[in-house]
Amino acid sequence: MNHSDTLELSLQLLRQPSVTPVDHDCQNIMADRLAKIGFNIEKLRFEDVDNLWARRGTENPVFCFAGHTDVVPTGHLDAWNSDPFQPTIRDGKLYGRGSADMKTALAAMVVASERFVAKHPDHKGSIAFLITSDEEGPSINGTVKVVETLEARNEKMTWCLVGEPSSTNQLGDIVKNGRRGSLNAVLTVNGKQGHVAYPHLAENPIHLASKALNELCETVWDNGNEYFPATSFQISNIQAGTGATNVIPGHLKVTFNFRYSTEVTAEILQQRVLEILDKHKLNYDISWTFSGLPFLTPVGELVNAAKTAIKGVTGVETVLSTSGGTSDGRFIAPTGAQVLELGVLNATIHQINEHVNVDDLEPLAEIYEQILVQLLT
């Protein structure tokens, strides 16, 4: 196999305009390659979402590569220096939508598996792929449904490596061994509309809520722990008023989010918010939506295999982190699998002119292959 295997497959995947939830043809391209080296291919479509479960072997332990073929929309095409779905190499960088998040990682996973199987056709346990086209969207018919399907037939993953772009300054410098939980709320504070000249005949919900909102902003929810930073509370939207300067609004709508550590639960946060709102005697309605539980993979076989592989290939001493947004790891971790995220640099994800360093592609495939060697030989 030549040096450019990972690049060639990356280019093939990047040419597919797979804007979420459309897979276009990415999973078929991957499945064809995996079928040739003895993977059993299972295509699981739920509603408008394509998912792939591929497995080589029937025994435990099961090492699973997980990831997504869908990408976020491109934004204005004229802002890109080249067509986002015509991958282009300039100055050692590969440009294209999905280059960092995360089609190059998918290519590296396939190539790593091909090389590993060629050298170790009788490896122990099983290698699996869990690929979805619904990670960038609502995440309702993707990984979560595949996990439900596997759980229903008691098919378990031992270790799961998610190919999300985890690196910051150089390949492998950071791996994510957990993620914070995410909890959203929309709070409506009810007042009474009226004329600004007659405030005694109205109830201004902005004024009524201001002390409570300030207290929510000032509250220390926890102090985090060795793996997680302290829980953060952020208001992302506030809406009130008719647009007129002389009308006291009748309602105030506030949208906020918690990114929380394993020191608290969603239930604890909800209860503490309600206590603060009630203390300030507000007339309110609140609705909660839950984006994901926090998860954590402590140092163990998977973390150690990744650290050793990264050190061996790049010479980098990797650092464990739980920062950043959510990932599909949140659906896999509750099954009991050890979950880790390891991929290319994340500096340009979701941006105009998204790109990766071409020189990182082969080392990433090598790291993935070395992790397989440590866990399945």
CA angle 96, 99, 102 (to 5 degrees): 145
Is 135 catalytic? The answer is: yes
Contact 162, 341 (CB under 8 A): yes
151 annotated to bind ligand:
no
User: Which residue among 23, 50, 135, 203 is the active-site one?
Assistant: 135
Radius of gyration of the CA atoms of the chain, in A: 24
User: Which residue among 5, 23, 70, 203 is the active-site one?
Assistant: 70
136 annotated to bind ligand:
yes
Is 134 catalytic? The answer is: no
215 annotated to bind ligand:
no
317 annotated to bind ligand:
no
Collect contacts of 40-48 with beta carbons under 8 A, ≥24 apart. 44/145, 44/146, 44/149, 46/141, 46/142, 46/145, 47/140, 47/141, 48/21, 48/141
d(CA 351, CA 212): 36
Task: Please give the C-alpha separations between residue 340 and each of 7, 160, 181, 372, 373, in angstroms, as whole numbers.
Answer: 23, 6, 16, 14, 17
Contact 157, 243 (CB under 8 A): no
Beta bridge partners of 53: 42, 130
101 annotated to bind ligand:
yes
User: Which residues are annotated binding-site positions for Zn(2+)?
Assistant: 68, 101, 136, 164, 350
Residues identified as active-site: 70, 135
User: Which residues are annotated binding-site positions?
Assistant: 68, 101, 136, 164, 350
